[in-house]
Homo-oligomer: A and B are copies of this chain.
Amino acid sequence: MQTKTNCIVRKEQYDPKELNLHETLFCNANGYIGVRGTLEEGVPADFPTMRGQYLAGAYEIIPMKQAESLCNLVEKKQTMLNICDTQTIRLSVSGEDFLPAEGGTEEAERILNMSEGYTERRTRWISPSGREIDVRIRRMAHFRVKELFTIDYEVTALNFSGEAVFDSFHIPEVENYSDPNDPRLADESPCFLKLEKQGFREEASFSVTRTKESGVSIAAVTNHRCFSEAKPYSMVREEGEALITRLRIPVRKGERIRVIKYAAFSDSIREKDPLAKAVKVVHDAMERDIDELYEDQKSYLGSFYSRSHMEIKGDKELEDAVSFNMYELLQAAPHDAFAGIAAKGLSGEGYEGHYFWDTEMYVVPFFLMTEPKLAENILSFRYATLQRARENAALLGHRRGALYPWRTITGVECSGYFPSGTAAYHINGAIAYAVTQYYYATSDKDFLIKMGLEILIETARLWLDTGVYDRKGRFQIQEVTGPDEYTCMVNNNYYTNASARYNLSSAAKLYEEFRDEPEIQRLAERLGFSEDEKEEMREAAEKMYLPYDEEYGINPQDDSFLDKPVWDLKATPKEDFPLLLHYHPLHLYRFQVCKQADTVLSHFLFPKLQSRETMEKSFRYYERITTHDSSLSTCVFSMTASMLGLKKEALLYFGDSAKLDLMNRHENTKDGVHTANMGGCYMAIVNGFAGIRITEHGLSIDPFLPEGLTGYSFPFTFRGRRLKLTVEKDTAALKLLSGEAFDFRFREENGRLEEEGLWTHRL
């Protein structure tokens, strides 16, 4: 592992424009806790900041009144919680408060160390009166001790002797973030938490808060350990609702003193006694040497990288961006079935922490190839909320099946505007696709029998209940919204129909494969699922209508899409993008203009449904009318371009996608990272450049080396095997690192790898 190089380093100028971007980039998360990279001492009042600390799956329920109350519309929504602030530590040296915006800073930088799993902040600060200190703060959200977050604060007095005073805060009741200028961020900013108890037990601060509506309890505990020559003087106090630990430490010129703050969090969703759990986590952590915790973190990541590290030769910046993306995905991935992956992971409050279809379609493929257990967690969350999806379907008038919510935390629909929310039935297709892919990539029969097949059947049933045979005997699906939200509630959205087809046929096929298993027989009985219904699924899949336009030779996005006028993108002022913020939806709906890949994505996912010519013509057609206002778009254009052999386009779109957050390309990374795009970026390499596909027939590979790169290489897992693909200018090499021999396809050829074997091919 490249211990030293796998870092993101940025200058910190304490500039208000950059600080909240850094809060996202230097966020620490471990799939359970997420703490934004805020400054310990806080920022001046006029600086924008989203001072956030989150727990996966912790939520509040808030009213969402509809302007016009129609039957069964959603009138409440869930929102993620900003939980108690334990980030705040105010330092003063000999009476001067450490405030980098006052005085001067030198050599200030922020580091995300992705090999060792911490962020670091270094600042040399000259106080207004001339005292110089060197500050180094490391923060870690521990991957193995999920409830633990540490701040490791070191101060060196460079040119004076005196006293350092740390006021370390634990503030149980905090507010969620709001930005009235952006509808994608909630515009309510109340405190959702009610304090149940707080105080100190010996030197440890503790608090328990409880959400007002959802009744989720959150416990937090902090404690400190000091390292200094002189004995520190410690005192605790409560000020209003804040619990403050004051550490007063004499310091001599040249001396480095160190304070480690241990914070632990737990919640009533997972634990019966969250406070006891948090107390224990802090206690156990303090029993261990801090270096042991750091080592443990590093070893976890070492293991992760051994299954995932992506080498890109010839473009260091790109490699860094890809590494960053993969690290962020790991930070976002839940470690149990109590949460999904939010649109912004655990790095910010954008989209209120809701989980969308992106998780299954863009993020699951990454974990499938690297950490299948994490993919299973995500799908287990969907299984855990299947009953709610059934209830959601019933609210929409369906007599059978389950419809997963478009946006949710608990599995209950939270869309305020159903035409571009609930009506996006294709989320069912995405979940069914991920379940099927998971099975083909892992051969995890147990999951399929216990959870997967039930998901497949219930989602497929929904299509049967939604669609209808037209007079020509074609199976049509009406009044749904595809991935492109610039057209809503359309008939026969190509993407939706294609993914419904896959869902239906996968349910039928995998049921047939397992129908003799006693567990599946019991499942069928419980669901009232018969051979007839299975046949109904098979037939609907077969007769699924997939619109095709003879004149243009492309697949229209939906039945009436091509009758609309083409939006004049060239004449649209730059400041009018994203269009959804500048045009009434009804206006957008009347044009051929796409927010994101839609038909283009379905061609990537289901390439057998159309000829290469149709797909290429379609690609060219949609390319001209897509704004990529959504961050889910360019990665898909890249992978589809790869598939079609459009190498130039594949690289171009990939670059856009890979650097989106690290380079803040959409200028909104401050609200949190774009997890879906990060997953899409991985897919653009692995499924795009490398052309890896996993189907019921196994693994196939069809790689190319994009211009400008000298090679790329990555390990991956496939059905229990560990493999590594290396693509260079003239050769592709596939090595079986561990696991049994197997057959695969390489382009049009059959290949076979024996145990620990190497297979190479000239390109």
Q: Which residues, 415 to 436 on A, are CB-close (under 8 Å) to B?
A: 415-419, 421-423
The answer, yes or no, to whether A269 is at the interface (CB within 8 Å) is no
Given contacts A395-B584, A396-B584, A560-B478, contact A589 B67 (CB under 8 A): no
CB pair B71–A491 under 8 Å, yes or no, is: no
B67 and A66 form a contact (CB under 8 A): yes
**Complex CA–CA separation, A586 to B395 (angstroms):** 10
Q: Which of B422, B478, B551, B582 is close to A564, meaning CB atoms less than 8 Å apart?
A: B478
0/1 interface trace, chain A 45-82, chain B, CB 8 Å (1 if under): 00000000000000000001111111111110000000
Residues of B within 8 A of A479 (CB): 586, 589-590
Pairwise interchain contact A183-B395, C-beta atoms closer than 8 A: no
Within 8 Å by CB of A478, from B67, B416, B563, lies B563
Which residues of chain B come closer than 8 Å to A422, judged between CB atoms? 586
Give A478 to B488 CA distance when docked, in angstroms: 12
- Chain A residues 183-212 with CB under 8 Å of chain B are 183, 187
A348: min CB distance to chain B, Å: 19
Asked if B71 and A67 sit within 8 Å, CB to CB, the answer is no
Q: Chain A: interface residue count, which band?
A: 35 or more
Q: A residues 365-421 with Cβ under 8 Å of B? A: 395-398, 415-419, 421
Q: Is B66 a contact partner of A584 (Cβ separation < 8 A)?
A: no
Contact flag A584-B70 (CB < 8 Å), given A491-B563, A590-B466: yes
Partner of A417 from the list B70, B468, B582, B590 (CB cut-off 8 Å) is B70
Q: Is the CB of A563 within 8 A of B67?
A: no
Question: What residue of chain B has the Cβ atom nearest to residue A421's Cβ?
Answer: B68
Q: How far is the CA of A562 from the CA of B491 in the complex (A)?
A: 12
Q: Once the chains bind, are A586 and B418 in contact (CB under 8 Å)?
A: yes
Does residue A559 face the partner (Cβ distance < 8 Å to B)? yes
Report yes or no: A65 in contact with B68, Cβ–Cβ below 8 A.
no
Bound together, the chains give a CA A471 to CA B549 distance in angstroms of 12
A587 in the interface (beta carbon within 8 A): yes
CB-contacts of A546-574 with B (<8 A): 551, 559-560, 562-565
Across-interface contacts of A67 in B (CB, < 8 A): 64-67, 73-75, 416-417
Min CB–CB distance A756 → chain B (angstroms): 55
User: Which residues of chain B have C-beta atoms less than 8 A from A583's C-beta?
Assistant: 71-72, 397
What B residues does A587 contact at CB under 8 A? 396-398
Asked if A156 CB lies within 8 Å of chain B CBs, one says no
Tell me which residues across on chain B come within 8 A of A564, comparing CB atoms. 468, 478
Task: Say yes or no: is A692 at the interface (Cβ < 8 Å to chain B).
Answer: no
Chain B residues within an 8 Å CB radius of A560: 478, 491, 559-560
Is residue A527 contacting chain B, with contact meaning CB distance below 8 A?
no
Residues of B within 8 A of A187 (CB): 69
The proximity string for A residues 458-496 relative to B, scoring 1 for CB distances below 8 Å and 0 otherwise, is 000000001010110000101100000000110100000
**A580 in the interface (beta carbon within 8 A):** yes
A230 on interface, CB distance cutoff 8 Å? no
B-chain residues with CB within 8 Å of residue A491 when the two chains form the complex:
560, 563
**Cβ of B69 and Cβ of A468 under 8 Å apart?**
no
Separation of A582 and B564 alpha carbons in the complex (Å): 34
- The reply to whether the CB of A302 lies closer than 8 angstroms to some CB of chain B is no
Cβ–Cβ contact A68 & B489, under 8 A: no
Complex Cα–Cα for A86 and B418 (A): 45
Q: Which of B71, B75, B421 contacts A584 (CB 8 A)?
A: B71
* A655 interface residue per 8 A CB criterion: no
Residue-wise interface mask of A (647-680) relative to B, using a CB-CB cutoff of 8 A (1 in contact, 0 not): 0000000000000000000000000000000000
With A66-B417, A468-B564 already in contact, the answer to whether A585 and B71 are too (CB < 8 A) is: yes
- A489 (CB) vs chain B CBs: closest residue: B489
CA distance A590 to B465 in the complex (A): 11
> Which of chain B's residues have a CB closer than 8 A to the CB of A584?
70-73, 395-397, 418
Q: Which residue of B lies closest to A477 (CB)?
A: B590
SS of A interface (majority): loop
Asked if A1 CB lies within 8 Å of chain B CBs, one says no
| Residue interface bits A85-123, CB-to-B below 8 A is 1, else 0 | 000000000000000000000000000000000000000
Tell me how far the C-beta of A81 lies from the nearest C-beta in chain B, rounded to whole angstroms: 20
Contacts of A66 in B (CB 8 A): 66-67, 416-417
Residues in B whose Cβ lies below 8 Å from that of A417? 66-68, 70
In the complex, which residue of chain B has the Cβ closest to the Cβ of A64? B67
A68 & B183 in contact (Cβ 8 Å cutoff): yes
Docked complex Cα distance between A684 and B335 (Å):
68
CB distance from A566 to the nearest CB of B (A): 10
| B585 and A70 contacting across the interface, CB-CB below 8 Å | yes
On chain B, the residues within 8 Å of A64 by CB distance are: 67
Q: Which residues of B contact A418 (CB under 8 A)?
A: 584-586
* Distance to closest chain B CB from A133 (angstroms): 46
Residues of B within 8 Å of A71, CB to CB, are 580-585
Of B183, B396, B559, the residue contacting A69 (CB under 8 A) is: B183
A90 → B minimal CB distance (Å): 37
Beta-carbon contacts of A584-598 to B below 8 Å, as 1s and 0s?
111111100000000
List residues of chain B with CB within 8 A of the CB of A65.
65, 67
Q: Hey, what's the 0/1 contact readout for A486-519 against B, CB within 8 Å counting as 1?
A: 0011010000000000000000000000000000
The answer to whether A590 and B68 touch across the interface, beta carbons within 8 angstroms, is no
Q: How far is the CA of A419 from the CA of B478 in the complex (A)?
A: 16
In the bound complex, how far is the Cα of B199 from the Cα of A244, in angstroms? 60
**Which of A64, A421, A562, A587 gathers most chain B CB within 10 Å?**
A587
Which residues from chain B contact A586 at a C-beta distance below 8 Å?
Answer: 396-397, 418, 422-423, 479, 489
Q: How far is the CA of A418 from the CA of B488 in the complex (A)?
A: 13
- Bitwise interface map of A from 702 to 723 toward B, beta carbon under 8 Å scored 1, else 0: 0000000000000000000000
Kindly list chain B residues whose C-beta atoms are within 8 Å of the C-beta of A395: 584
Determine which residue in A72, A396, A563, A587 has the highest number of CB atoms from chain B within 10 A of its CB, and name it: A563
The residue in chain B whose Cβ has the minimal distance to the Cβ of A549 is B471
Q: Is the CB of B563 within 8 A of A489?
A: no
| Bound: A75/B66 CA distance, A | 11
Which residues 201-225 of A sit at the B interface, judged by CB distance below 8 A? none
Specify the chain B residue showing the minimal Cβ separation from A417.
B68
Pairwise interchain contact B183-A563, C-beta atoms closer than 8 A: no
Nearest 8 CB-CB pairings of A with B: A67-B416, A397-B587, A68-B416, A68-B417, A69-B183, A72-B584, A64-B67, A479-B589
* Subset of 24 A-B contacts with CB under 8 Å: A64-B67, A66-B67, A67-B74, A67-B75, A67-B416, A68-B183, A70-B580, A70-B585, A71-B583, A72-B584, A395-B584, A396-B587, A397-B587, A423-B586, A468-B564, A468-B565, A470-B563, A478-B560, A478-B590, A479-B589, A479-B590, A489-B589, A559-B559, A559-B560
- A interface, CB within 8 angstroms of B: 64-75, 183, 187, 395-398, 415-419, 421-423, 466, 468, 470-471, 476, 478-479, 488-489, 491, 551, 559-560, 562-565, 580-590
> Apart from A66-B417, A67-B73, A418-B585, what are 7 other A-B pairs with CB-CB below 8 Å?
A67-B416, A68-B183, A71-B584, A419-B419, A422-B586, A479-B586, A491-B563
